Amino acid sequence: MSDEIGKRIGDYQILNELGSGGMGRVWRVRNLITDRIEAMKVLLPDLAGRQDLAARFQREIKLMASLEHPNIAALRTAFTDENRLVMVMEYVEGTNLADRLHQGTIPVADALNYIGQTLSALSYAHERHVIHRDIKPSNMMLTPHGVIKLMDFGIARAGEERSLTMTGTTLGSLSYMSPEQVKGEATDARSDLYSVGVSLYELVTGQRPFQAASDYAIMAAHVKETPKPPIEVQPGLPPALSEIILMAIAKEPAQRFQTAEAFRNALSTVDAPPVVVLPSDQMPTMDSIPPAPAVTPRPLIAPAAPISVPIAAQKSATPVTLPPVPPPARPGAHRGLYMTLGALVVLAVLVAAGIYIPRGSKTQADSSPPQPAVQPSETTPATPTPPASIGSAADTQSTPTPPGTTLAASRELMENTSAVPSGKGSGAGKHLASHDKAASPPQEAGGGQSAVAAEEAAQLDRLEKEVDQLSNRAAAVNSGLDRLQQQQASAGYGLRGDMVARQASMKNNLSKAEEAVQRGDVARADKFTKAAESDVEALERFLGR
């Protein structure tokens, strides 16, 4: 109130009020001796008739005085004044994360940094058996230097803490309470971790996992309702972060992170890629993108060259030139091409034979041996052969018939060059088949099988190494789980059931992977190696590695 401003409490002068609640008020004060600004918390307005509460607070004050951590607001001193218990705390300049959330959601990298510092403070406090019990963004102060200071430590630390916790509780505090706190059950360090998970949920999504119009509805939601995964609220979140938050706010304490350090280690594995925003003058434009290189289509079938058949007549020699054969309309229609080319060659031979052979040349045909159709003489130049391609004219083009070729030789040439692409032994079919074979490089017999065998051997070597590495990681995981089970057994609770099942699955999959590697079964070895690796990674995250 304004009437308190300027008053003195001991050696401190009240400057202004920082906050108030059922437990008292918090003031910003100045030490009149040192001139240092502090935060003063009046815990109880009157100790008369409440000595039990005063004694418990005094024990808490002594415990807090032992906490010295860079992420915890330090206790300076404490005293009584006119039946009031007074705590003098470190005054932290800056803003709390609840006020920071009014500006919008916090970037993932910043949220991980802030929560990591909070968990560091809690890990330190939990080792000294100090439970905060009121973790929420408004108790996380962010300094101008980016340091988180955890406030209000130990207010409800005593054994019968339920009445102290519920006294003066606000709606904001209820939104972060663990289910066991809501039900009034015994609480431990994992209750703080639940509250941290709820706070992290809000920092990265901008909303709390449970929202309702009444205190009772919020309390019931903590106990019964399943929260919506953070990644569904904010699709841009890393999936691993969403899983970590859901694990932290599990209903059962045994299914959460068991220590603040394990929680912090899990967060350290989350990759939060920075968002890079280019200046407007550096943004790429369509003009700045180089054009794709021009691609010249290569014809599947080379254009046919004109077929010339020189004819030596007794009285005149007139070359007969046939028009070029147009390429087929579609690449795969080789049968029609072969038949067309064969028919044209036969026609050219028949024309040449009819013009060349004179009447009464039967004796010459009987005495003249047939000349080879594919061997040019010194006086007859050979027709140039175009580049070989599938279905090109070179496959069916005949060498010009040399002078002196008889009708019998012409008939033999016609029979050997008839294009019948049925593969039944025709000369043209044989020639085309031999050309197709020459177009592709020969392979050694069994070469494909040897390549497959070599590839499988390489895969087996790789899988064997992966299984060996997984075995080493699994051994470390088993050792960590054994230690954790021993610690939890001493505290009266056991290991999470889903982690026990995951450990058994890891051992089973790893055993099957090793067996498949020994038998040389690549597919089975790869399947169970991946399954075992998934189990190992889940258990490592649980252990905070």
Catalytically active residues, by annotation: 134
- Quick check: helix, strand or coil at residue 518? helix
The CA angle 235-240-241, to the nearest 5 degrees, is 70
Dig out the tokens for 313 from the structure.
Answer: 């007549």
Considering only CA atoms, which of 374, 419, 378 is closest in space to residue 400? 374
- The whole-angstrom separation of Cα 355 and Cα 485 is 106
| Closest among 51, 4, 45 to 24, alpha carbons compared | 45
Distance CA 181, CA 269 (A): 30
Strands 307-309 and 320-322, how do they pair? antiparallel
3 state DSSP class of 294: coil
Determine contact, residues 313/356, Cβ cutoff 8 Å. yes
3 state DSSP class of 321: strand
Distance CA 86, CA 80 (A): 6
What is the residue type of 53? Answer: L
- If you search the block for the tokens 């409490």, which residue do you land on? 9
The residue assigned the tokens 């040897």 is 450
Compute the radius of gyration of the chain from its Cα atoms.
45
Give dist(CA 446, CA 284) in Å, integer: 53
Alpha carbons 142 and 73: distance in angstroms, whole number: 11
User: Do 4 and 17 contact (CB within 8 A), yes or no?
Assistant: yes
The gap from C-alpha 234 to its chain's centroid, in whole angstroms, comes to 17
- Order of strands across the sheet that contains 95-96: 95-96, 140-142, 148-150
Evaluate whether 176 touches 135 at the Cβ level (below 8 Å). yes
